[in-house]
C-alpha cells in the first residue's frame, strides 16, 4: 500500500546540496541559521500540504468525511490559513486556539471545540464566535453550556465525548480512550447524559459522539474496534431514545516516525481499517452512515518540521560517554524528558559525512535531565556546527516554555527556495514585558519580618 509522509523521518523535500549541506524546501538549512539564528523551528510547506491531501484522498472511499486538524499539535495564524486552503477544519481545545482561528479569518463553523474542563469564559467566547460544534466532556459542562446558551437564546450543536475503554500500546500519559482517563463520559453514564439533553437541557442539540483512543498509535485494529463500540452506542441511543445521531468523531492519534525503530501504518492503512469497520457495523445495526470526523494533528504536522540548533561545548566523561551541547533543549522540546521521546538528527553542514563517534546530545538548560538524544552516531562535531533534529513539527513549539528565562525560538516556513517567518523570535524585552513591580518596592518601603 502507498506510503505516506508520517512514515518518513525527514520532510519530503529534504536533500543534500552541493555544499554538503542539508536542504529543506529548497532552502539551505545552514543558511537559515545564518539568517534567522538558532534554535530555529523550520516547517516544509510541501510536506505539510501533502499530509493534508493524503488524509482527504485516503478517506475518499467514504462519502461523508470531514478532516479536522488537531491544532494543539502546532498552531499559528499561518497554519490556520494553510488548513483552510486545504479544506480542513480545526479541532480547538482552548480559548486561545479559538482566538487564533478567529484572527486568522478561519471559518468558525468548521471548528470543533474539545476539552475536559472548558471555562465559562471559553464557552461563552466559543458561542459568540459561532464555533461549529462543542464536544461536551462531562455533566458539569452539560449544565454550564446549556445555561450559557439559554442566556444567549441560542441552541448549540454538541457531541458527547465517551471513553470507549480501549487500551492501545502508547505512552501512559497519552492514552485517552481507556476507562481510567480524565476525558469523557463512561459508557455507563451515557443514558443519564442523553436523558438530560432530551428532557432538561433544551438549548443543546445532540448531533453525535466523540471518542479518541490516544496518540502515537501504531495499530490499525484499535481503530476498527473503536468504530464497533461507537456504532453500537449509536444503535442503542436510537433504540432507547428514538434519536438518530448523524456525526461520529473518532479523534486522531496515528503514529509518526521519529526514528528507525518506529514503523507506523500509513494513512491509507488506517483509512481502510476504519471504513471497512464502519461499513460492516452500519450494516450490522441497520443504520444510515453518519458524517465521519477525524482529528489528525501530529501525523499532519510532525514530519514537516525540524529544529535547527548550533553546537557549542562538549564533554568527554572519563571512561564514559561524550556529550555535545546545543543552544536549545528541554524548553523548546520537552518531549524527551516528559515522554522519553526519541529523535533522529543530522549535522546539517556535514550532511554526507560518515558517522565517527557515539555522542549524547544535551541541552543548555540547568537540569541533568535536559537530554535531547541519548545516544546517536554523528560525524565529528565542533562548535558552530548546525544540528538538525527531525520530526519536531508537533508539540515542540506548542509545549515550549521560558525555563531559565530563555526566549522562545522563531519558526519559519520554507517553500520553493523561499523562507518566511511565521512566529517571531522572542527577545529579552519580551520576557519581561508582563513583569510588574509593586510600587512599594520601587520606593524602598521593604519591611523584613
Average pLDDT on 412-432 reads 98
Question: Grid coordinates in use for 396?
Answer: 515542540
Question: Grid coordinates in use for 376?
Answer: 546517536
Pair type for strands 133-136 and 322-326:
unpaired
pLDDT for the residue numbered 178:
45
Contact 78, 422 (CB under 8 A): yes
pLDDT for the residue numbered 449:
59
Contact 126, 157 (CB under 8 A): no
Q: Cα dist. 16→28, 260, 305 in Å?
A: 9, 20, 17
The CB-side HSE value for 384 (13 A sphere, CA atoms) comes to 1
Is 366 designated active site? yes
What is the C-alpha separation between 194 and 231, in angstroms, rounded?
Answer: 16
Stated as kind and residue range, the H or E segment containing 32 is helix 29-36
pLDDT tier, 184 (very low <50, low <70, confident <90, very high otherwise): confident
Neighbours of 438 (CB within 10 A): 8
Domain boundaries, the chain: 5-11+45-302, 304-432
pLDDT tier, 443 (very low <50, low <70, confident <90, very high otherwise): confident
Question: Grid coordinates in use for 320?
Answer: 564514559
Closest CA to 378 of 341, 315, 320, 323: 323
Radius of gyration from C-alpha coordinates of the chain: 24
The span from the first CA to the last CA of the chain, in angstroms, equals: 72
Query: What per-residue string of b and e applies to 396-420 under the rule 16 or more CB within 10 Å gives b?
Result: bbebbeebeebebbbbbbbbeeebe
pLDDT tier, 310 (very low <50, low <70, confident <90, very high otherwise): very high
All residues at 6 or more sequence positions from 441 whose CB lies less than 8 Å from its CB, including other chains: none
For residue 260, count CB atoms less than 10 angstroms from its CB and return exposed for 0-12, middle for 13-18, buried for 19 or more.
exposed
Residue-wise pLDDT for 210-254, tens only, equals 998 888 999 999 999 999 999 999 999 999 999 999 999 999 999
Contact 54, 4 (CB under 8 A): yes
> What are the two backbone dihedrals, phi and then psi, of residue 403, each rounded to the nearest 5 degrees?
-55, 140
pLDDT tier, 179 (very low <50, low <70, confident <90, very high otherwise): low
Pair type for strands 204-210 and 185-186:
unpaired
Stated as kind and residue range, the H or E segment containing 56 is helix 45-58
Question: Grid coordinates in use for 110?
Answer: 468548521
What is the C-alpha separation between 76 and 393, in angstroms, rounded?
Answer: 12
What is the C-alpha separation between 328 and 150, in angstroms, rounded?
Answer: 49
pLDDT for the residue numbered 122:
98
- Domain 304-432 in the same topology as domain 5-11+45-302: no
Contact 163, 177 (CB under 8 A): yes
Average pLDDT on 330-352 reads 95
Closest CA to 71 of 53, 87, 92, 99: 92
Contact 26, 413 (CB under 8 A): no
What residue has cell string 482517563?
181
All residues at 6 or more sequence positions from 8 whose CB lies less than 8 Å from its CB, including other chains: 257, 303
pLDDT for the residue numbered 172:
38
pLDDT tier, 22 (very low <50, low <70, confident <90, very high otherwise): very high
- CATH architecture of the domain formed by 304-432: Beta Barrel (2.40)
pLDDT for the residue numbered 157:
98
What residue has cell string 548546525?
386
Is 174's pLDDT higher than 60?
no
Average pLDDT on 395-420 reads 97
Is 402's pLDDT higher than 50?
yes
Is 182's pLDDT higher than 70?
yes
More confident residue, 166 or 163: 163
Average pLDDT on 182-193 reads 90
Contact 225, 177 (CB under 8 A): no
- Out of 3.30.360.10, 1.10.10.60, 3.20.20.10, 2.30.22.10, select the CATH number for domain 5-11+45-302: 3.20.20.10
Residue-wise pLDDT for 40-93, tens only, equals 999 999 999 999 999 999 999 999 999 999 999 999 999 999 999 999 999 999
Selected catalytic residue, list 129, 302, 366, 388: 366
Closest CA to 310 of 291, 324, 290, 293: 324
What is the C-alpha separation between 38 and 40, in angstroms, rounded?
Answer: 5
Is 1's pLDDT higher than 80?
no
Is 394's pLDDT higher than 60?
yes
Residue-wise pLDDT for 252-274, tens only, equals 999 999 999 999 999 999 999 99
Mean pLDDT of the chain: 94
Residue-wise pLDDT for 114-152, tens only, equals 999 999 999 999 999 999 999 999 999 999 999 999 999
What is the C-alpha separation between 416 and 1, in angstroms, rounded?
Answer: 29
Is 169's pLDDT higher than 80?
no
Amino acid at each position: 500500500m502507498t506510503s505516506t509522509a508520517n512514515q518518513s523521518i525527514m520532510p519530503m523535500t529534504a536533500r543534500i546540496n552541493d555544499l554538503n549541506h542539508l536542504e529543506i524546501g529548497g532552502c539551505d538549512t545552514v543558511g537559515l541559521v545564518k539568517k534567522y539564528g538558532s534554535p530555529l523551528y523550520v516547517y516544509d510547506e510541501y510536506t505539510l500540504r501533502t499530509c493534508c491531501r493524503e488524509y482527504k484522498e485516503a478517506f475518499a472511499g467514504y462519502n461523508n468525511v470531514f478532516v479536522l486538524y488537531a491544532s494543539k499539535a502546532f498552531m499559528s495564524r499561518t497554519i490556520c490559513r494553510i488548513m483552510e486552503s486545504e479544506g480542513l477544519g480545526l479541532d480547538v481545545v482552548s480559548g486561545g486556539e479559538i482566538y487564533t482561528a478567529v484572527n486568522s479569518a478561519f471559518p468558525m463553523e468548521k471548528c470543533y471545540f474539545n476539552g475536559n474542563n472548558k471555562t465559562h469564559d471559553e464557552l461563552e467566547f466559543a458561542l459568540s464566535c459561532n464555533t461549529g460544534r462543542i464536544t461536551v466532556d462531562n455533566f458539569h459542562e452539560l449544565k454550564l453550556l446549556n445555561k450559557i446558551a439559554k442566556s444567549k437564546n441560542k441552541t448549540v450543536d454538541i457531541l458527547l465525548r465517551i471513553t470507549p475503554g480501549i487500551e492501545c500500546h502508547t505512552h501512559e500519559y497519552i492514552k485517552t480512550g481507556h476507562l481510567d482517563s480524565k476525558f469523557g463520559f463512561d459508557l455507563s453514564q451515557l443514558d443519564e447524559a442523553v436523558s438530560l439533553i432530551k428532557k432538561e437541557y433544551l438549548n443543546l442539540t445532540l448531533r453525535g459522539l466523540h471518542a479518541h483512543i490516544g496518540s502515537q498509535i501504531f495499530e490499525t485494529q484499535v481503530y476498527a474496534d473503536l468504530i464497533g463500540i461507537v456504532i453500537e452506542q449509536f444503535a442503542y441511543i436510537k433504540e432507547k431514545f428514538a434519536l438518530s445521531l448523524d456525526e461520529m468523531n473518532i479523534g486522531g492519534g496515528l503514529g509518526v516516525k521519529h526514528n528507525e525503530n518506529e514503523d507506523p501504518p500509513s494513512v491509507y492503512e488506517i483509512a481502510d481499517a476504519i471504513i471497512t469497520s464502519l461499513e460492516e457495523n452500519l450494516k450490522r445495526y441497520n443504520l444510515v452512515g453518519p458524517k465521519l470526523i477525524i482529528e489528525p494533528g501530529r501525523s499532519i504536522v510532525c514530519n514537516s518540521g525540524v529544529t535547527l540548533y548550533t553546537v557549542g561545548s562538549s564533554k568527554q566523561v572519563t571512561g564514559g560517554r561524550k556529550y555535545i551541547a546545543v543552544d536549545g533543549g528541554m524548553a523548546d522540546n520537552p518531549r524527551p524528558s516528559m515522554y522519553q521521546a526519541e529523535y533522529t538528527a543530522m549535522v546539517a553542514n556535514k550532511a554526507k559525512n560518515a558517522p565517527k563517534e557515539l555522542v549524547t546530545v544535551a541541552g543548555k538548560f540547568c537540569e541533568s535531565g535536559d537530554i535531547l538524544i541519548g545516544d546517536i552516531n554523528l560525524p565529528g562535531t565542533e562548535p558552530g556546527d548546525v544540528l538538525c533534529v527531525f520530526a519536531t513539527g508537533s508539540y515542540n513549539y506548542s509545549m515550549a516554555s521560558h525555563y531559565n528565562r530563555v526566549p522562545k525560538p522563531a519558526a519559519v516556513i520554507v517553500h520553493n527556495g523561499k523562507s518566511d517567518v511565521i512566529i517571531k523570535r522572542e527577545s529579552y524585552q519580551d520576557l519581561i514585558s508582563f513583569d510588574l513591580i509593586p510600587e512599594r518596592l520601587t520606593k524602598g518601603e521593604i519591611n523584613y519580618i
